[in-house]
Amino acid sequence: MSRTARVERITKETKVLVEIDLDGTGTAEISTGVGFYDHMLHQIARHGGYDLTVRTVGDLEIDAHHTMEDTALALGAAFDQALGDKAGIRRYGSATVPMDEVLVRAAVDLSGRPYVVHDEPTLAPYIGPVYPTSMTRHIWESFGQAARITLHVDVLRAARPGGNPDAHHVVEAQFKAVSRALREATAVDPKAAGAIPSTKGAL
Neighbours of 13 (CB within 10 A): 13
Question: What's phi and psi for 80, nearest 5 deg?
Answer: -60, -45
Structural domain contains residue 87 = yes
Structural domain contains residue 133 = yes
pLDDT, tens digit, 9 for 90 and up, residues 121-144 = 999 999 999 999 999 999 999 999
Q: What is the mean pLDDT of residues 76-92?
A: 97
The domain spanning residue 142 has which CATH number? 3.30.230.40
pLDDT, tens digit, 9 for 90 and up, residues 14-43 = 999 999 999 999 999 999 999 999 999 999
Q: What is the mean pLDDT of residues 57-71?
A: 98
Domain that holds residue 142: 4-186
pLDDT band at 178 (very low <50, low <70, confident <90, very high): very high
